[in-house]
A and B are shown apart, each in its own frame.
Chain A
Amino acid sequence: MLLRFSRQIVDQPITSQIILEKKTPINILSARMNQLGGEILAEIPGDKAQEVIKAFKSKGVIVDVASLIEKDDDLCIDCGACISLCPMDALGFTEDKSVTLDAKKCNGATCGLCVDACTRRALRLLS
């Protein structure tokens, strides 16, 4: 999920407060902030997702919830440029060197590392 912090709240330790309050691990995949605001891309355990999202929203954080990634096989040319970017091994080659996406392993938009690596724009975030 993508957390967006406005200028007004960026100096507050919101993420750590929520980790403590909800007693849940939050895995920060990337973060970018300065005094003008910022964004955190994070993973949260599925069972606490709704609760954690609600907590962030109550503190004024804008939360973009994970969406899935879809692969358009007609656009794909089976190069595999996406494969080495996938931290979950959701992307791979079949025996005949076609590129496949295993939706069960995919982290969806919480990761999204592959999307802009596709030169054919065959990988899309589903909203």
Chain B
Amino acid sequence: MYAASRRNLKLTSNTPDKKRTVAEINEKIRNGDVQVLTISEMKDLVESSGVEVAFKEVDVVTTGTMGAMCSSGALINVGHADPPIKIDKAWINDVPIPHPGAAVDLYIGATIGSETRGFEYGGGHVIEDLIAGKEVELRATAYGTDCYPRTRVETTLTKDDLNQFILLNFRNGYQRYATAVNGRDEAIYTYMGKLLPNFRNATYSGAGELNPLCNDPDYETIGLGTRIFLGGGTGYIIGEGTQHNPKAALGTIMVKGDAKQMTPEYIRGATFSEYGSTIYIGYGVPIPILNEGIVKKVAIRDEDIPSDIVDYGIPRLNKGTLGTTNYKELKTGRVNVNGKSVKVTSVSSLKHAYKICEELKDWIQEAKFYLTKPVETLPTDTVFKPMKVTTETRFVESLIGEAVTCTEDEDVKAVAKRLVEESVNQAIVVDSANELKGIVTAWDITRSVANGNKRLEDIIVRRVYTARLHEPLETASKRMADHDISALPVVDKGNKVLGILTSDAISRLVGGGATG
């Protein structure tokens, strides 16, 4: 069979213009002599035998990825009840389900959390449970109309009871992504996972050289109508995803597929602690090897796919970058951040990405899956704009107050007197260079009097939560609430004290009716 296919390749494909078409590839699939490699096998072949040989030998390569893809969901049609209901509000397993259409079409959004279990169970888990064949509870209410008189319905459903159960994801499969670190002095919980303080770990997302869009960076073969592996079933790319940003090599896709065919192995609900519910989506794309130019592109290696290192501790849209790494370094498990080697791990599943490449390869070899030529390829010139915000956002700098300071060697009594004179609740302890050393509150002083402590250095709180001048008031006030404190020294990068932000100042702003 293999020898036959080699002859066949010479006859049909190795034409002078070195081109092959999707139709020719499908013909080979039908004949059982298609040459399919996973993307990893193809990269090895190009490396060992060169572009020309790889073009001659291979018709299709299979790419894949599996990661958390929040902008996902499933459209279901639950059929009409008797008497019928025009659903106004609906819940499945206590997860609120938006209802964007007519009477009984519901969209299960992956990120919506349950009203009883919060982030621990969300729309992503509902979709996984339905795909796994589990029974779910639907509850719906309505205002009642002449034609839809019913105002309540409660029932149980499985996927077999649904007329349509379509996975419909408006942004999936980022071409590549940033590497996340945290420069704050507290752990933070993000959509990139849990990030330890002071750059102690890093996380990344994406499959790197296995990612479909990375291997077709000019979107020559991928677009509207591309048939793909989606969640263990077949699906289609239906255009570019939201936030598609081709000029920055940050392409995305929009996909749909029949969820009744899918398996929970590749569609899993998930929870990012203190962030929200989401869903892991596994998808794979076949890339037809139409010419040698495509061979060169699919040969891309992890080291050629950059990822910016971004401090997710900065609560602003533009976080800047701390440097650039690449997927080869990321996959070693250690990455260099600010000159220090730190542990880095993926929040995507590389194991499943490999499995998807293998499974899609099997499907094509067994003629269970044919390729499609897209009706329209993904755009290469769209831009991704930030939000136009017409209301003012307030930052720490707008409410910063002058700090009452003291030094460690001062007498408790002198500091107490200063607090009374300035009528403030805390003094910031600084050194001669105005660098932050601690904080002392009226409460600390009261307690020291009660305990007979006379020396200031014994009562200073040395682990101090701080604020930055250009951070939003919202994050600074959340930090105060989280740690049950009433003020934050505002410091610059060198830990020099610029002033103080107090919860009193924030209360006055809110109480004064100022609009933020």
Which of B345-353, B366-374, B382-390 participates in binding chain A?
B345-353
B307 at interface, CB cutoff 8 A: no
Which residues of A lie under 8 Å from residue B271 when comparing CB positions?
119-121
B354 at interface, CB cutoff 8 A: yes
B349 A121 Cβ-Cβ under 8 A: no
B443 A35 Cβ-Cβ under 8 A: yes
- Given A97-B354, A117-B194: A34 in contact with B484 (beta carbons within 8 A): yes
Across the interface, A81 reaches (CB within 8 A) one of B194, B268, B333, namely: B194
A35 B447 Cβ-Cβ under 8 A: yes
1/0 contact string of B334-373 vs chain A (CB within 8 Å): 0000000011111111111010000000000000000000
B194 A85 Cβ-Cβ under 8 A: yes
Give chain A interface residues in 54-96, CB to chain B under 8 Å: 77-86, 93, 96
Which residues of A lie under 8 Å from residue B342 when comparing CB positions?
84
A98 at interface, CB cutoff 8 A: yes
Across the interface, A85 reaches (CB within 8 A) one of B196, B268, B447, namely: B196
- By beta carbon, the residue of chain B nearest A115 is B273
B120 at interface, CB cutoff 8 A: yes
CB distance from B321 to the nearest CB of A (A): 19
- Given A84-B203, A119-B68, A119-B270: A79 in contact with B443 (beta carbons within 8 A): no
Give chain A interface residues in 1-57, CB to chain B under 8 Å: 11, 34-35
- Given A35-B443, A117-B273: A78 in contact with B349 (beta carbons within 8 A): yes
- By beta carbon, the residue of chain A nearest B265 is A77
A81 B352 Cβ-Cβ under 8 A: no
CB distance from B317 to the nearest CB of A (A): 24
B405 at interface, CB cutoff 8 A: no
Chain B residue total in the interface (Cβ 8 A): 36
Give chain B interface residues in 230-262, CB to chain A under 8 Å: none
Number of cross-chain contacts by CB at 8 Å: 80
Whole-angstrom CA separation of A82 from B347 in the bound complex: 9
1/0 contact string of B416-458 vs chain A (CB within 8 Å): 0000000000000000000000000001000100010000000
B466 at interface, CB cutoff 8 A: no
Whole-angstrom CA separation of A97 from B273 in the bound complex: 24
B502 at interface, CB cutoff 8 A: no
A83 B333 Cβ-Cβ under 8 A: yes
B306 at interface, CB cutoff 8 A: no
CB distance from A79 to the nearest CB of B (A): 5
- Given A85-B194, A117-B273: A80 in contact with B352 (beta carbons within 8 A): no
Which residues of B lie under 8 Å from residue A102 when comparing CB positions?
none
B351 A116 Cβ-Cβ under 8 A: no
Whole-angstrom CA separation of A116 from B67 in the bound complex: 18
B202 at interface, CB cutoff 8 A: yes
- Given A116-B194, A119-B271, A121-B271: A80 in contact with B68 (beta carbons within 8 A): no
Give chain B interface residues in 94-127, CB to chain A under 8 Å: 120
**Chain A interface, DSSP helix/strand/loop, else mixed:** loop
Which residues of B lie under 8 Å from residue A86 when comparing CB positions?
343
B175 at interface, CB cutoff 8 A: no
Across the interface, A79 reaches (CB within 8 A) one of B196, B333, B347, namely: B347
CB distance from A47 to the nearest CB of B (A): 29
A119 B272 Cβ-Cβ under 8 A: yes
Whole-angstrom CA separation of A77 from B282 in the bound complex: 11
Which residues of B lie under 8 Å from residue A80 when comparing CB positions?
345-347, 349-350
1/0 contact string of B173-190 vs chain A (CB within 8 Å): 000000000000000010
CB distance from B40 to the nearest CB of A (A): 12
Which residues of A lie under 8 Å from residue B343 when comparing CB positions?
83-86
Which residues of B lie under 8 Å from residue A121 when comparing CB positions?
120, 271
B226 at interface, CB cutoff 8 A: no
Whole-angstrom CA separation of A65 from B360 in the bound complex: 48
Whole-angstrom CA separation of A77 from B272 in the bound complex: 14
B196 A120 Cβ-Cβ under 8 A: no
Looking at A34, A79, A83, the one whose CB has the most chain B CB atoms below 10 A away is: A79
Which residues of A lie under 8 Å from residue B193 when comparing CB positions?
81, 117, 119
CB distance from A64 to the nearest CB of B (A): 20
B201 at interface, CB cutoff 8 A: yes
B346 A81 Cβ-Cβ under 8 A: yes
Whole-angstrom CA separation of A20 from B172 in the bound complex: 57
B68 A78 Cβ-Cβ under 8 A: no
CB distance from B252 to the nearest CB of A (A): 20
B312 at interface, CB cutoff 8 A: no
- By beta carbon, the residue of chain B nearest A97 is B351
Looking at A11, A84, A86, A120, the one whose CB has the most chain B CB atoms below 10 A away is: A84
Looking at A77, A93, A97, the one whose CB has the most chain B CB atoms below 10 A away is: A77
- Given A84-B201, A84-B202, A117-B193: A77 in contact with B268 (beta carbons within 8 A): yes
What are 21 A-to-B residue pairs whose CB atoms are below 8 Å?
Answer: A34-B484, A79-B280, A79-B349, A80-B345, A80-B346, A81-B345, A84-B201, A84-B203, A84-B333, A84-B344, A84-B345, A85-B196, A85-B201, A93-B333, A96-B351, A97-B351, A116-B274, A117-B273, A119-B270, A119-B271, A119-B278
Residues of B at under 8 Å CB distance from A? 66-68, 120, 189, 193-194, 196, 201-203, 268, 270-274, 278, 280, 333, 342-352, 354, 443, 447, 451, 484
User: Which are the 5 A-B pairs with shortest beta-carbon distances?
Assistant: A119-B270, A97-B351, A117-B194, A84-B343, A84-B201
Other A-B pairs beyond A78-B351, A120-B270, 17, CB < 8 Å: A77-B268, A78-B349, A79-B280, A79-B347, A79-B349, A81-B203, A83-B333, A84-B345, A93-B333, A96-B351, A97-B349, A97-B351, A98-B351, A117-B193, A119-B271, A119-B278, A119-B347
